[in-house]
Structure 1
């Protein structure tokens, strides 16, 4: 049996509801596919911050480094500043473990009504540079409290950072439909964006089967709303990728559906898997949170760990449940978190039974 150690951080709000739901599905899949997933919980997040003044302990990163993957729910609380929750947990994990690719698939799911009226299915992937760009620590504030108070935030783009994101995106595009769109703003941001454009173009030239198009991010946002089905793979800087992926998720029906993977592609460090939704404190504790983003992130984790068949089984199960009309409130249904999860568990078993039955049927040749 394949064994993997998974660090689990449910975090805050609905993370504490959707993570146990998704783990139940992962455990059922693991049993059926002869996998051993050892889940180790870490009770870090906003409650930990309120008790200890930090989002995780001093040795938090070394503890996580002992695992094969990290499974995160959501972080954020009205009682803790957003900068503390993000820079105290998620960003240190992304940078310490060189998770320089943020991968966000976006697709139309049968049974989910989307705000976009179209018969064309959406199937695209956003590759977000995840370690630098606009999310740098360089900058500061001066003249605090005075009328002339100011703030400076520096964006940092390096040849290494841009090229490795472009390589990953181009390789992915080559395995799909061969179309790569680069999000830029080189008409207004005079230094970093032309630098981004040059390195992306230089890198993608090494992939003869990939066609590259550069689009200004504002036009690309409109493109995502008007004709998202024409897009295949998008590569974007940290900030642009963050914004575009939320928009793309909304176009397909709900941000509660969207998964993501923070990848160290070489596998030298653990990668992190999380839904892109927040902690949603307004609905937390009511049992109505949509677990699809968390479950789908779990499927991406299985794929990353090398278990393609298990990942496909989990994904086809939750997609079939949506197709059958079982939906949570955010996508027009009435199912609770527990009811949706139970439906997925039943579908996992049903699909496994169908596969066994198919193998046992005599050949018709």
Structure 2
């Protein structure tokens, strides 16, 4: 469940490579150079999120990105009076960098805190993903303001610019698309996976009402998920994540329809056996009828068979569940690694 927190690159590249502030082109080139440095640092962070399993490496690249922003912001802030007193573009870029730095610090901490509790409920997971996406939307909005200020300055001073995304810009755009696609299917997976965890707790407590409630919810969510993935197109002809999600949904559907009734049946028979056992043990041997003894002995034989059958079914179900979940996690990880560009 990962996504790029920044999209820093202004996609317009200058045609001139002048280095002094004698012209408006010199001024834009200087600022654009600092933005390019930030863009490369941003990409390192994106790549670490997508391809690294090391939390330390990811956090180190985040901190390095913050330092890069701070350095660039100071250099641009040190420009006196912008270009001949025109500071609108300069101020907009600084405002954008301020916003990025704040989000990498304050908002990052908030999101990490939300992530820690996200798996406690489906609503918490949705809230976490929504908060993460809102941060990205705000960053995109600020980026658009900076881009608009760039274009306005270029137009004002008749500077010709080339339209189009840079290579880094394209990589960042692709990365966002991949993470967005992954998130949609992850939520489908998480909903049934979380409901199954609640079902498992109910089974452990032998809470028949909770078992029935969670089993019904699991079946409902599995069916809803199977319908939803029919509307999701493959990503760049890659159906792997859709297929893995379908498999895990089919497993949970089978569990709710087939395995849970066996659990309920076993618990009901076991309760009946325990009640019979208590009844016969409450009587002295002379008060026990032959019919009661024969019935109890038959139930002892049956309960032993039921326990053996139940344990085998549980082991098989557990293995099927682990296979489905592990497969989804592996496919999801490979999906991100495959489609997020490498350095």
Which TM bucket (shorter chain)? under 0.3
Provide TM-score, normalisation by structure 1.
0.25
TM-score by length of structure 2 reads: 0.26
Query: Per residue, is there more helix in 1 or in 2?
Result: 2
Structure with bigger gyration radius: 2
